[in-house]
Structures are given as C-alpha cells and as structure tokens.
C-alpha cells in the first residue's frame, strides 16, 4: 500500500485526473458487461461498450481543473463519488426493471412500485466492490502533497482529445444504426452504442426539450393525424352493438399475467373463477403487456386513449394537462355515459387526480372514500375484497349508463398477504416472489368472484358489460428462472414473449363465449369495446385495432421498439422466428420495424405536442 501511495504521490494533475477517470471507466465497463444483461453482443458491440463512455468521462472529470490552476481534489473526488452513485442506482434499477433509469422516472419515484419496498432484496454483498476504490482514492487524494497544477495548454489539449473521443463515439453509434437517436426509446441500444454516461446526458437533453414542444407545434402539425384513422372493416358486424347501452365495468387486474389462467399449482387451479368465467366470455389469450415505466398508469392510458405510453416516465406525470380524446369523452359524446374511476390508493398516486380530470372522468373514488384500516389494507392500500365490497354502494348510485373503471391493488409486487387471505398454498420454486405470486393471484380471483356475486345480488350484473384485463407483468425478468420452473419451460425468447401475455376477458351476460386468438395489446381494448357498444371507431386517433377484426399482419408494438408480428419476434435489434425462437435475417423484420418506428414517433408527437387540442373546436 505504501509503495502504491508513493506512485500516487508522483502523479501530475492531468495524470491524477486520468487515473480517476479510468477507474470510473473501468467500473462502468464492468457494470455494463456483468451487471446489465446486454444481450448477444457482437465484437463491434463489445467495442462500443468498452469505448463509448471514455470521451464524456474525460470531459466530465476535467471539471476538476477547468476553472482553477490545479486539480480541485474535492471536485475530483465528488465526481468519482457521484459517478459511482449513479452507476449503482442504475444497477439496482436494472436488476428489477431490466431497464435504464431516465430523468422523468426519478420525478415519479414515489410511484415506482417495487423498489422502495425491496431495495434491500436487490442488493448483493458483491456490490461493496463497487465502492472499495472510493476509500483508497479518497485517503490517497487528500494526503497527496505534490504539485497538481494543470498548465493552460494541457487543458486545451485535454478538452480537444475528450471531445474527439465523443465525436468518434457518435460516428460509431451512427454506423451501428442510423436510427439510433430517433429511436432513443430503445434504451438498451442507446447504452450499448454510446455508453451509459452519454445515454444519461442525451436523456436529460430530451427531458429538457419535451416541455418546449407544445410551443413549437401548430395546428398544421395536427393534419397528419387525419391520415391516421383505422381502416373500416365489415367483418364481425354480428357483434357490432351487442353491448349497446350497457353499463361498462372495467377491472384492471393488478400484475395479472395470462399464464395463471387454467394453470394448476399443487393440483389446484390458481384462478378457478376466471377459468369458469372465460367459458362464457370473449377471451383473448394473446394480448401483450405494452406498458413501460408508467406501469398501471400506462395501462390506463392505453385503455382510455389508445395512444402508446411514453418511452420514459408516465404520461400521467409528464403530460397530465393535455387534451385527450379519451374513452370517457367518447362515451359521453356518443351515448351520454357517466364515467367514474375507483381505486383504493391516494388520489395523487400516479398523479391520478389531475390526469382523471383531463381524461374526462366525472368522479374519482379514491382512498378517502373507502374505510381503510390496518385490517383492511396491505402493501399499497385497501385489499381487493373490501375494495370491491365497499365499491358496490357507490356503483349503485352512479347515473346510468355508466363506465366504471375499478383498479385492483393487492396482487402487486412483492405479493404480500395476511394469513386469513391465503386461499391456496404457495408454489414451490426457488423464487419466493413467484411462490407468493400464486397466492395473491388467487386472492384477486376470489375477490372478483365475490364482486360478481354482490353485483348479481344487487341486480347490477345483467345489464353490464365486463372488461377484465391484466395491467402488466407481475414477475419481472429478474425472477424469470422461478417462473420457468413453475411452468416447466426453458428460458428462451419465445417463452419470454409468451410470458408477456396478460389476460383479457370481455364478459357480456347472456352472450355466448368465444376464444379470440388474435394477437394484440392493451392498446387494442378501446376499439374492441367500442365495436361491442355500437360506436364506430373512425377518426378517433387511435393506435389500437378492433381485436375481432385485427389485421394479422399488423405487429404488436412495444414501447422500446420491439414487436411481435405473426411470424417474427423483434427484440434488441435481433429478428427471431416466432415459432422456435431461431435468429433469422433482420430483413424479415424490417417492414414491421418501420411500422413500429412510425407509430411510436407519431404517438410521441401527439403527446409531446399536445396535438389533440387542435382536433377539438
């Protein structure tokens, strides 16, 4: 150690800065390769991961001497500390979400389920290694006595070299993909191509630009929307209007994935009620979770507006004052519906109080409208059984016809239940999270059964149309091993995609059941429902398709630019054959990739530019 210190003592100002920059570079590279599961990289990818951060790291570290004659030890150490902190934050976030932190997500951190309750679970003893250098460098740095002046000329050279590195990085990234910057929603591609630090800087720049966009666009920008209407279809006109005039009861099933349907654990059905219900319902087994960082709020956005969520952050938090051509508005204009939303959490969670106004809800029943005691709540708020029970009298009082959206809560990570609410044994995989998920999924199933019973008792069942939909995945990729054990399936891309399916059930009392195998997403719910209600879906600026008539060649698009077509899976810029998960030539996916690019950018344009305000007189 003493010899090491002697060497350290000899370092000049520039050498010292370079040393600290390379330590942070080393840590960034290790975290990128080991911590982030940046799938299947080629030699060129590895080269980009290795080199991408160098320029900006150097430039950033230079702030320790740009404004003085010598290196400011506090600034240098501070940069190392902050850099390490950011790296560790990224790592923890990635471990749970398999995604990278964005600036908007930091502003909605109170709403990011999962992390707060279980940050400890995401940490590992090995993580200490990420901080060891801080003690060594810290103790050396503040003892260092030798001269660390940086002459002016050297500063200039230093800046030139750093910026050249940045330029080269940008060129390489563009060689990798010309769409890299317009597809910034593909964060994995960004991080792989320009490095973690540059990714963060670009993300910050985008977040600053976003609020300015509504000021730049004009009415003419909205003209493009006119072209974007869904093709008319004459198919399945037998179903057009079969639910006309009925009260709509839409239930979002928190974290419910489709694999639980008809699945048995220890010989027992996980969701016996839903399994029965689907026999007399339209059941859509191939509906995919298309949410991003906004989780439940993204699902709600798609249900109500049929727009794509944002790539970073939630529209509920970032653009809640926009004009939306939403389901409550459409229902009111076309059939004079009253709209209410029910959720047993704080009004402000996901900024719902503000967003629901814009979406046109007449009433929001939130935590303050429910009796929430220690006995009736767990995790995020009121348990689903008391939630449904207490919602009945409110529903009874609603003006008819109504659209009621009920948002369940109990089946939420980390899937906790009180003893008296456990109606099925836990599963027996190596992942506790997966094992507990079975019990909370069953609790949700039971709560819905009870709700249906109560509605029947109160005479509110017959004249309703029910839409039940899983809002997004519950078991994240981190716990995929446990899930594959539960389902006795190997981990591969085809199974991974299948696990992104969420159940969608549309139940119309008196209507015969049918399983609709069309591939689709949550974004397709609105046009499907409107079809059943007898409301034509033209000119609704909707990205969704009626699932009864959905063109099979249209891909199901995910927010990171990946998609699923009838025959292919496209993920992380790799094209796979859907059938067996074999990698195939990217050309097979190109035509769909263009559609995905076009739809995502138009949807973003609508949201960031608040373009729908021009469609109202």
- Active-site residue set: 296
Question: Which range binds Mn ion by CB under 5 A, 275-283, 291-299, 357-365, 449-457?
Answer: 291-299
Q: How far apart are CA 136 and CA 393, in angstroms?
A: 65
Cα–Cα–Cα angle for 348, 351, 353, nearest 5°?
65
Q: Are 546 and 532 in contact (CB under 8 A)?
A: no
Cα separation of 102 and 41, whole Å?
23
Q: Which is nearer to ligand GP9, 114 or 360 (CB)?
A: 114
Subset of 237-276 contacting Mn ion (CB under 5 A)? 254
CA distances (Å), origin 230, targets 14, 239, 529, 534, 540: 61, 18, 15, 16, 8
Residue 524 binds which entry of Mn ion, ligand GP9, none, with Cβ cut-offs from 5 to 8 Å by kind?
none
- 298 lies in the site for Mn ion, by CB under 5 A: no
Residues in the chain: 617
Asked if 309 and 521 touch (Cβ cutoff 8 Å), the reply is no
What are the residues facing 342 on neighbouring strands?
Answer: 365, 406
Instruction: In angstroms, give the least distance from the CB of 415 to ligand GP9.
Output: 12
> Toward ligand GP9, which CB reaches closer, 412 or 545?
412
Identity of the residue, 79 or 468, whose beta carbon is nearer to Mn ion in the bound complex: 468
Round to whole Å and give the CA distance between 147 and 184.
Answer: 44
Least Å distance, CB 252 to Mn ion, is 7
**Closer residue to Mn ion, CB minimum distance, 198 or 297:** 297
Q: Give the separation between CA 465 and CA 146, rounded to whole angstroms.
A: 78
The item of Mn ion, ligand GP9, none sharing an interface with residue 349, based on CB under 5 to 8 Å by kind, is ligand GP9
Classify residue 581 as exposed, middle or buried by CB count within 10 Å of its CB (0-12, 13-18, 19+). Answer: middle
CA distance 565 to 554: 7
DSSP lists the bridge partners of residue 557 as 563
Phi, psi at 159, each rounded to 5°: -65, -40
Instruction: Tell me the closest approach of the beta carbon of residue 349 to Mn ion, in angstroms.
Output: 11
What residue is closest to Mn ion based on CB?
296
User: Any idea what the Cα angle at residue 469 is, between residues 293 and 242, rounded to 5°?
Assistant: 135
Identity of the residue, 60 or 475, whose beta carbon is nearer to Mn ion in the bound complex: 475
Judged by beta carbon, residue 158 or residue 479, the one nearer Mn ion is 479
Beta bridge partners, 506, equal: 282, 467
530-569 footprint of Mn ion as x/- string (CB under 5 A): ----------------------------------------
Report the partner that residue 345 touches, choosing among ligand GP9, Mn ion, none (CB closer than 5 to 8 A by kind).
ligand GP9
Whether 405 and 250 have beta carbons less than 8 Å apart is answered as: yes
Of 61 and 407, CB closest to ligand GP9: 407
**Choosing among ligand GP9, Mn ion, none, which partner's interface includes residue 602 (Cβ < 5 to 8 Å by kind)?**
none
Least spacing, CB of residue 314 vs ligand GP9, in Å: 8
**CA-based R_g, the chain, Å:** 27
Residue 427, sorted as left (phi over 0), alpha (psi -120 to 50) or beta, turns out to be: beta
Q: Which is nearer to ligand GP9, 183 or 300 (CB)?
A: 300
**Total Cβ atoms within 10 A of residue 554:** 18
Per partner kind, with CB cut-offs from 5 to 8 A, the member of Mn ion, ligand GP9, none near residue 378 is none
Choose the stretch contacting Mn ion; rule: CB under 5 A; options: 327-335, 351-359, 371-379, 466-474: 466-474
- Scanning 226-234, 471-479, 482-490, 605-613 for contacts with Mn ion by CB under 5 A, the matching segment is 471-479
Residue 16 or 301 having the CB closest to ligand GP9:
301
**Closest CB 366 distance from Mn ion, rounded Å:** 16
Closest approach, Cβ 93 to Mn ion, in A, equals 17
Per rule CB under 5 A, is residue 296 in the interface with Mn ion?
yes
* CB contact at 8 A, 149 and 523: no
- What letter would DSSP give residue 406? E
- 304 part of the interface to Mn ion, by CB under 5 A: no
How many angstroms separate the CA atoms of 469 and 463, rounded? 20
Q: Give CA torsion, residues 149, 155, 158, 162, to 10 deg.
A: 120
Candidates 289, 384, 471, 610; binder of Mn ion (CB under 5 A) is 471
Nearer to Mn ion, 295 or 554 (CB): 295
| Closest distance of CB 314 from Mn ion, Å | 11
Mind giving me the DSSP string for 99-151? S---HHHHHTGGG-TTHHHHHHHH--GGGGHHHHHHHHHHHHHHH--S--B--
Give Cα separations from 580 to 459, 569, 592 (angstroms): 49, 10, 19
Q: Residue 557, SS3?
A: strand
Give least dist CB 255 to Mn ion, A: 6
241: which 2 tokens? 């209007």
Min dist. Cβ of residue 1 to ligand GP9 (A): 47
CB 603 within 8 A of CB 308: yes
Least Cβ distance, residue 43 to Mn ion (angstroms): 40
Angle at alpha carbon of residue 376, lines to 471 and 112, rounded to 5°: 40
**Dist. CA 270–CA 443, nearest whole Å:** 9
Instruction: Report the residue number, 90 or 471, with the smaller CB distance to Mn ion.
Output: 471
Name the β-bridge partners of 269.
264
Residues that bind ligand GP9 (CB under 6 A): 113, 295-296, 345, 349, 380, 407, 409, 412
Using CB under 5 A as the criterion, which residues of the chain lie in contact with Mn ion when the complex forms?
A: 254, 295-296, 471
């Amino acid at each position: 150690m003493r010899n090491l210190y002697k060497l350290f003592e000899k370092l000049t100002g520039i050498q010292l800065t370079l040393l600290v920059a390379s330590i942070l570079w080393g840590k960034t590279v290790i975290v990128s390769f080991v911590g982030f599961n940046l799938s299947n990289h080629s030699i060129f990818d590895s080269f980009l991961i290795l080199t991408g951060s160098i320029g900006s790291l150097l430039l950033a570290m230079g702030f320790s001497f740009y404004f003085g004659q010598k290196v400011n030890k506090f600034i240098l150490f501070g940069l190392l500390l902050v850099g390490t902190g950011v790296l560790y934050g990224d790592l923890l976030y990635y471990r749970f979400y398999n995604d990278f932190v964005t600036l908007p997500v930091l502003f909605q951190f109170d709403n990011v389920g999962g992390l707060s309750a279980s940050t400890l679970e995401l940490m590992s003893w090995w993580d200490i290694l990420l901080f060891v250098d801080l003690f060594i460098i810290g103790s050396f740095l503040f003892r260092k006595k030798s001269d660390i002046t940086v002459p002016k000329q050297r500063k200039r050279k230093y800046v030139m070299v750093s910026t050249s590195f940045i330029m080269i990085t940008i060129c390489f990234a563009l060689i990798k993909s010309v769409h890299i910057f317009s597809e910034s929603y593909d964060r994995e591609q960004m991080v792989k191509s320009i490095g973690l630090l540059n990714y963060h800087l670009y993300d910050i720049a985008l977040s600053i630009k976003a609020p300015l966009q509504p000021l730049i666009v004009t009415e003419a920008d909205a003209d493009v929307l006119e072209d974007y209407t869904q093709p008319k279809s004459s198919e399945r006109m037998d179903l057009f209007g079969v639910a006309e005039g009925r009260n709509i009861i839409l239930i979002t099933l928190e974290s419910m994935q489709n694999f639980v349907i008809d699945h048995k654990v220890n010989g027992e059905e996980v969701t016996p009620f839903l399994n029965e219900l689907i026999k007399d319902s339209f059941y859509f087994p191939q509906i995919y979770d298309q949410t991003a960082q906004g989780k439940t709020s993204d699902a709600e956005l798609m249900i109500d507006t049929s727009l794509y969520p944002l790539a970073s952050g939630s529209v509920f938090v970032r653009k809640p004052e926009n004009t939306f051509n939403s389901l409550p508005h459409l229902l009111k204009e076309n059939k004079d519906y009253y709209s209410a939303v029910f959720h047993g959490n704080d009004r402000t969670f996901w900024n719902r109080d503000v967003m629901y106004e814009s979406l046109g809800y007449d009433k929001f029943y939130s935590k303050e409208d429910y009796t929430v005691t220690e006995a009736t709540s767990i995790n995020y708020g009121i348990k689903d059984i008391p939630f449904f029970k207490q919602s009945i009298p409110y529903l009874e009082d609603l003006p008819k016809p109504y659209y009621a959206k009920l948002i369940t809560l109990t089946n939420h990570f980390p899937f906790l239940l009180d003893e008296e609410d456990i109606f099925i044994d836990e599963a027996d995989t190596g992942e506790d999270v997966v094992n507990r998920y079975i019990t909370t999924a069953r609790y949700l199933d039971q709560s819905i059964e009870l709700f249906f019973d109560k509605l029947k008792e109160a005479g509110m069942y017959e004249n309703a149309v029910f839409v039940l939909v899983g809002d997004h995945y519950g078991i994240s990729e981190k716990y995929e091993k446990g899930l594959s054990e539960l389902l006795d399936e190997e981990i591969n891309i085809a199974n991974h995609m299948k696990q992104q399916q969420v159940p969608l059930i549309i139940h119309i009392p008196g209507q015969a059941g049918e399983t609709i195998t069309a591939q689709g997403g949550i974004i397709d719910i609105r046009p499907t429902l409107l079809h059943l209600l007898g409301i034509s879906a033209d000119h609704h600026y909707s990205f969704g398709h009626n699932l009864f008539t959905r063109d099979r060649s249209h891909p199901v698009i995910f927010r990171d630019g990946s998609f699923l077509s009838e025959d292919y899976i496209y993920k992380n810029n790799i094209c796979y054959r859907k059938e067996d998960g074999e990698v195939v030539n990217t050309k097979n996916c190109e035509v769909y990739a263009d559609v995905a690019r076009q739809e995502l950018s138009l949807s973003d344009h609508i949201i960031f530019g608040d373009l729908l305000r021009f469609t109202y007189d």
